[in-house]
Amino acid sequence: MEGLRNDGRRWNELRRFHCQLSTSSTNSDGSSYIEQGFTKVLCNITGPAEPSSRQKVKQDSATVSCEVYFAAFSGTDRIKRGRNDKKVQELQTAIQQTFSSIILTHLFSRSEIAISIHILSQDGGTLAACINATTLALIDAGIPLKDYVCACTAGQSTSIFDSEGTSPDPWLDVNYLEESDIPSLTVATVGDSEKIVALTMENKVRIERLEGMIAVGVSGCAKVRGIMDKEVRRHGKEKLEARGE
């Protein structure tokens, strides 16, 4: 069953994906900016550096710490989220755990890699955008990673059926309207291996729908990886040309 979603996309189409590296050259070791539709996220990396506190010192590997800030103006209504907000903490933990396993932390013992993420505008897929932005910022900072970590969302409509009673294909890269309406999940994969490093879902969905959703999400991750890789190469080439090499 083919049809168009309310923003005019087909079921397997991404929103406009725009990314930039080295956005703030002054005060961080690596930075990136990502727009996925109207979701806009900025990421800064500091490190590997001396840990800010003794607690963060690990003798044999680097500590990855993550701070997420929701700008008060990021949503439709103005909401201020504090440091201890549940949603903020959840995002921080998810990102920290994902990247602790991807960064080659054993190369930087007794140091800290601090990820600081600013969410400037939210329109669905916040976690996915944060993960993508972090990957790019880490690449910009020159921190060795196993491979790209790319994330994407997928949702499954539960109310639309065709004449035979089967539901349509899962939707790729859901926006805010879809996200609040249908069950959706965020999936992150490593490189083009289709290996999943992060998977979250906050709604109920029938078990037989789940696999389809994950499959669509993973295919989205591959598309995201393609776009990000292209941008990284373009950026690298530009840098080299600027240096006259």
Where does this chain bind other proteins (CB under 8 A)?
Answer: 24, 26-28, 38, 40, 42, 44, 67, 69, 71-78, 80, 83, 116, 118, 120-123
**Residue among 34 and 221 whose Cβ is closer to other proteins:** 34
If DSSP codes are grouped into helix, strand and coil, which group holds residue 67? strand
**Residue among 176 and 200 whose Cβ is closer to other proteins:** 176
**Residue among 123 and 169 whose Cβ is closer to other proteins:** 123
Q: What's the min distance (Å) between Cβ of 90 and other proteins?
A: 19
**Residue among 73 and 161 whose Cβ is closer to other proteins:** 73
Q: What's the min distance (Å) between Cβ of 31 and other proteins?
A: 9
Q: What's the min distance (Å) between Cβ of 142 and other proteins?
A: 19
How many whole angstroms from its chain centre is CA 37? 13
CA atoms within 13 A on the CB side of 92: 18
DSSP E strands, 72-219: 112-121, 149-155, 171-172, 184-190, 195-201
Q: What's the min distance (Å) between Cβ of 114 and other proteins?
A: 9
Q: What's the min distance (Å) between Cβ of 149 and other proteins?
A: 23
Q: Contacts from 46-49 at CB under 8 Å and sequence distance 24+?
A: 46/113, 46/114, 46/116, 47/108, 47/111, 47/112, 47/113, 47/114, 47/141, 47/143, 48/108, 48/111, 48/112, 48/113, 48/143, 49/111, 49/112, 49/113, 49/114
